[in-house]
Structure 1
């Protein structure tokens, strides 16, 4: 997060390659950006801690429950409306994740709790982001968002690290941070955020969601090849397939909803334009009538 903060500062303020979008105030920063940064830090802390106890593939399978958490928290915040269709989709995703968990060879419930905590943190971050955009009316690109959020996340990670992890690291002897591995991880993180910004700016929401599903499968299958602690079972894959089917149905439902809103907005704009044109025509006719009356009065006066 410190690396992302520094790199965003260089790109936006020093080299000015990317422009920071306007609209940020101190009130919005305190009420929206700081909670988003804190939830992002919670996601990173708990999500990374889960990898100490469970495999990468199983952690990715548990992440499939994300739409359920986002929908339930969104419904509690008044951003989502409960319906039979959405309840069915959430049930399919939940059943898929449960089946995938049942098929896991070695389940560490500590790792599961950490991962689910990370899922809740990410869901809260997305909810705060939606409130930030819809209710505050501020729209920022990914780099601008990272410029504001990264320092908050770095501070939110530093405080618990100081009291929870630093004493353990001190008691373990000399700190060992391989600089090249650390630098490559930082670059990968920033490249991820930059790629999200580029994909959003050059493609559509459908592309984002489809590539997200493909990425999830790639992570699961590659981790089974690369890491020895990952052992996929047929029940694992069946459960994860069910969960992904629910995620695809959820994405499709959200895209149709967004398309309906866009269409209604366009129809509203066109009707407003037609009304404006009608008013202009009526005003023009009135002006012509007034001019004719004025001319007739002048003619009468001359006569």
Structure 2
């Protein structure tokens, strides 16, 4: 009886973590759009906003791990690994955040989310080029389905701003490169870290990569516009939500499986697309939009399923058992660590 009660409590806790992840991830995307929008908070500095996220995350990670020692960071990152792996990952992470948030100045949240569905295609193409993926008829078909769906969804967009599209696709390329570097980080160097440990090492590097272009591209604009009088409470809350999102991913990964986090991600994507039409005036969904996005998501689900089966087959062949730490590292490798976009 007690065992049944314990299992029920654990089950409800798992559902709570998943719902928390979906709520925070969706909310962070809407929050960023709200802060950047000229019709709302009017803080049109995506580079500055992303820099704040990374600085806040770096400071909070340090305080929680080194001062209060609430969270334990996994070891294994040597100076050589930091230079050859963490810095490239941090640079691509910074690129993804910067360009992805910049896209919100030009295109709607829903359209940006639809364009993000092309991510598996970018990851697969780059992975094939560096020898991490193998081209097959099955994968070619899946990539074609995703690409076709994104094209249909784009065709159905009422007003396409190509500047925003370029920014978003640049963010997709940056994220794909980050995942490729993570793949190499885990497979070839054998370092396995959970999502919070990754944020501890990557956030300071990303902050530095963002600080340099911010000095040249946005600081002078903020000085001339007097934007230093920005609402500190709003921006602090925005940064806190970003960190809470990272924590929710850690909780979901720790208490569920790789499949669960992928399903939750698909549900989150649909929530963002549909709710954005109600929350933002610049979002005008069409039937062609939704049909195309549905096709793309079907391809993404097939891709995730293929990757999970491939990984399960590899583990079975090696005769190894999937431990909790391996599940964590697999998630870090294949699931984007939540960014300032809420991705």
| TM bracket (short chain) | 0.7 to 0.9
Distance between the aligned counterparts of 2:210 and 2:320, measured in 1?
Answer: 47
Distance between the aligned counterparts of 1:141 and 1:245, measured in 2?
Answer: 28
The aligned residue for residue 265 of structure 2 is 212
**1:181 corresponds to 2:181:** no
TM-score (norm 1): 0.87
1:105 positional shift: 0.3
Answer with 1 or 2: which has the greater Rg: 1
Distance between the aligned counterparts of 1:182 and 1:267, measured in 2?
Answer: 46
Q: 1:147 aligns with which of 200, 204, 211?
A: 200
List runs of 5+ in structure 2 lacking aligned partners. 1-53, 322-343
**1:233 corresponds to 2:286:** yes
The aligned residue for residue 277 of structure 2 is 224
Distance between the aligned counterparts of 1:144 and 1:49, measured in 2?
Answer: 27
CA RMSD of aligned residues (A): 1.1
Q: 2:181 aligns with which of 123, 128, 145?
A: 128
How many residue pairs get matched? 268
Q: 1:56 aligns with which of 109, 112, 120?
A: 109
1:109-158 Cα deviation digits (max 9, x unpaired): 00000000000000101110111111111111111111110000001111
1:166 positional shift: 1.1
Distance between the aligned counterparts of 2:259 and 2:183, measured in 1?
Answer: 18
Distance between the aligned counterparts of 2:303 and 2:63, measured in 1?
Answer: 38
TM-score (norm 2): 0.77
1:171 positional shift: 2.1
1:175 positional shift: 2.2
List runs of 5+ in structure 1 lacking aligned partners. 269-303
For residues 31-180 of structure 1, what are the structure 2 equivalents within 5 Å? Answer: 31-180=84-233
Distance between the aligned counterparts of 1:176 and 1:47, measured in 2?
Answer: 25
Q: Which runs of at least 4 in structure 1 moved beyond 4 Å after TM superposition?
A: none
The aligned residue for residue 295 of structure 1 is none
Distance between the aligned counterparts of 1:131 and 1:74, measured in 2?
Answer: 10
The aligned residue for residue 66 of structure 2 is 13
1:202 positional shift: 1.1
